[in-house]
Amino acid sequence: MKPAFAPMPTAEVSRKFAAFEFSALLLALAWPFVSDAYGTGLITEVLIFAIVAMSLDLLMGYGGLVSFGHAAFFGVGAYAMVLGSIKLGLSPWFGLMTGVAASGLAAALIGFFCVRMTGVAFFMVTLAFAQLLYSGAVKWRWLTGGSDGIGGMPRPHLFGLSLADPALMYFLSLAAFLMSLGLLRVILRSSFGHALVGMRENETRLRALGFATGRLKLLAFTLAGAFAGLSGALYAMYNGFVSPDALSFGLSGTFLLMVVLGGVGTLVGPAIGATVFMLMKHFVSSQTEHWLLVVGIVFVCCVMFFRKGIYGLVNNRRQGE
């Protein structure tokens, strides 16, 4: 007797997935021309947050390192961008690179201590360092503006055109997202990426094979921090403002929610999770002040019924067609 359905061959699944990605790219390129300024700005935010969600998935989904303080690197990138432009008078483009570098350096320094921990101790230490940076941003008012934040940074120009144009800012964010997605895929398909997954599955066995797992963790932590810094710098460029909220535990929790909602260990899944979360935030919050309750219900349903997240659910259905 033949089964009710046969699993789709891997090559066929890959072709359908490539077609889906191509269709999504076409839609993304056409979006500013079919949407208004509000819709373009909304998807710009989605793209920015998708980058930091994917960076956390590098740690959490592939390295098995659950960080409760990932917003620290997002915030460092944002502050470096704004402070470099306003306080030091640097070019915003140089400020963008500074944000990435500062976040990568902060991640390397913090990771140096964190990677020595495992399990609960690891994510508690990441949370402690993030809260330390948050407290510093609140108390160092002379530098950060305290709880009021610091703003007034004008959007730069690109090819003679101002990024105050929503469409131009959108395309910059889209380019940064595609670049981040491409680089992360290259990283995960490299020997380092395979070793990272091996460490997630069985760190003791990988260490017995001669791998320096501490260095693997530190490198993954640093890379994730650098990508989070890119997202934070773009967010600061988009808003022209940054406050201690960019370093808060609440934002770290939001990033975790995006990853779990979309699908841990899928890379594309966290981007989908960021999209769903941001759309719910904007549209549900316009209907009720209890929008977080709706997000919580969706999150609980995903954890209980869709353990692989939204991406895993859709992918399983497509394979079963």
Q: What is the pLDDT of residues 251-267, one digit of tens each?
A: 999 999 999 988 888 88
Average pLDDT, the chain: 86
pLDDT digits (tens, 9 = 90+) for 78-124: 999 999 888 887 788 888 999 999 999 999 999 999 988 888 888 89
DSSP state of 158: E
Q: Is residue 318 part of a domain?
A: no
Q: Is residue 28 part of a domain?
A: no
Q: Is residue 53 part of a domain?
A: yes
Residue 253 tokens read as 């929790």
How sure is the predictor about 9, in pLDDT bands with cuts at 50, 70 and 90? Answer: very low
Q: Is residue 288 part of a domain?
A: no
Higher pLDDT, 19 or 139: 139
- Given a cut of 50, is residue 6 above it in pLDDT? no
User: What's the CA gap between 141 and 102, in Å, rounded?
Assistant: 20
Q: Is residue 186 part of a domain?
A: yes
**3-state SS, residue 18:** helix
Residue type, 288: T
State the pTM of this model.
Answer: 0.90
Residue 271 tokens read as 């981007």
How many separate domains does the chain show? 1
Q: Is residue 11 part of a domain?
A: no
- Determine the structural domain holding residue 62 and report its residue range: 37-248
Angle at 245 between CA 278 and CA 59, to 5 degrees: 65
Q: Is residue 273 part of a domain?
A: no
Count CB atoms within 10 A of the CB of residue 4.
6
Q: Which residue has the tokens 């692989």?
A: 308
